[in-house]
Amino acid sequence: MRIPTVIYSLVVCFLFGCKNEVEQLSYDSIKGLTMGTYYKVTFSKGEEELKKEEIEALLLDLNSALSTYQENSIISQFNLNQLTSLDLNVPTHKYFYEVLERSKYFYNISENYFDPTVMPLVNFYGFGYMGREEDNELDMTKIQNILDYVSLDKLNWQKQESQIVLEKDNPKLELDFSAIAKGYGVDIISTMLEKKKIKNFLVDIGGEINVKGKNPKGKNWNLGISRPLDHADYNDAQIIVTLSDKALATSGNYRNFYELNGVKYGHTINPITGRSQRSNLLGTSIIASNCMDADALATVCMVIGLEKSKALLDQLDDFEGCLIYNESDSLQLHYSKGFEAYVKNQ
């Protein structure tokens, strides 16, 4: 899945500073490229050896399922109306189905603001697989026509044993899982590590992260959340959170946007209005038990804005969030009721 590093997540830096007297553990690191960004796995020794080839093979399968930039991927076949059923015995089909199912959950709890059928709008604004001509004028009169086939309610699927039958109400309906795919990738790599009895690890795909156990200093993992400003350095941390056995995902518009005729267009698209969403909410960081859910909810918050995000986080028991917003030309922070417990004193 070809998604530039700076587009779908805020950069998260890793800070391992701890007391010198703590005994250091033996860790390895594997890194590479995937989904148009980087991946990095830092881990202690387990009962079974972890090989880069295993991670790469898993990520290749994931891209073969979910990448709209691969012509023969499962999602591309679906978008081109060449796929009407899934076989859950096939790993790539299973990945597609699991992400689709979880997307439905977030579609429902967000009152339809999290909608993977937003792909035609993403392409319209030039953030999708079709790309964008540098000075291409946007014909905003086309948005209403596009909205006629943007809604997850227009896609039906039924499970028949290991087979999933897919049916579109409109052949122009297309899916885009980029708001949830990196988090899902983090989770399936984490599952691989757990099967190998690796007790301590950090898995990072483009800033979406899951951690388990302790860091190389024998402490919880310290993760810095970048300051969401256009000119900020990637290592300029707004806050630092300390986590173990949790996932962290971030979303923001502040780096991935373009300006056309004096108007700024960000990659966060409102699937109900069809408009590129710009607001005083600059960045969202979500802590959850798994990275797929954290990834999806971070996107939801960016779409629905500050006040609705505050209300939604208050309703959800399994998530904590930090909302960074602009007020009177100053950065402000809003924490959900349990988020502050993870914040490291600086």
Please report which confidence band the pLDDT of residue 138 belongs to, taking 50, 70 and 90 as the band edges: confident
The lowest-confidence range among 65-79, 121-135, 144-158, 278-292 is: 121-135
Separation of CA 201 from chain center: 19
Structure tokens at 249: 């995902």
At 44 the pLDDT is 96
Structure tokens at 134: 């540098």
66, amino acid identity: L
**Mean pLDDT of all residues in the chain?**
88
At 264 the pLDDT is 66
340 vs 138, which has greater pLDDT?
340
**Fold topology of 12-342:** T-fold (3.10.520)
Please report which confidence band the pLDDT of residue 254 belongs to, taking 50, 70 and 90 as the band edges: low
Structure tokens at 281: 């909410």
Pairwise CA distance, residues 293 & 277, whole Å: 21
The mean pLDDT value for 53-60 works out to 98
Pairwise CA distance, residues 238 & 282, whole Å: 12
The mean pLDDT value for 248-274 works out to 76
Q: Any idea of the CA torsion for 144, 150, 153, 157, to the nearest 10 degrees?
A: 150
At 200 the pLDDT is 98
Residue 296, pLDDT > 70, answer yes
Sheet with 12-15, edge to edge strand ranges: 12-15, 221-226, 237-243
At 235 the pLDDT is 64
The mean pLDDT value for 94-117 works out to 98
Q: Where are the domains of the chain?
A: 12-342
The mean pLDDT value for 101-106 works out to 98
**Residue 159, C-beta contacts closer than 8 angstroms, at least 6 positions apart:** none
Helix (H, G, I), strand (E, B) or coil at 41: strand
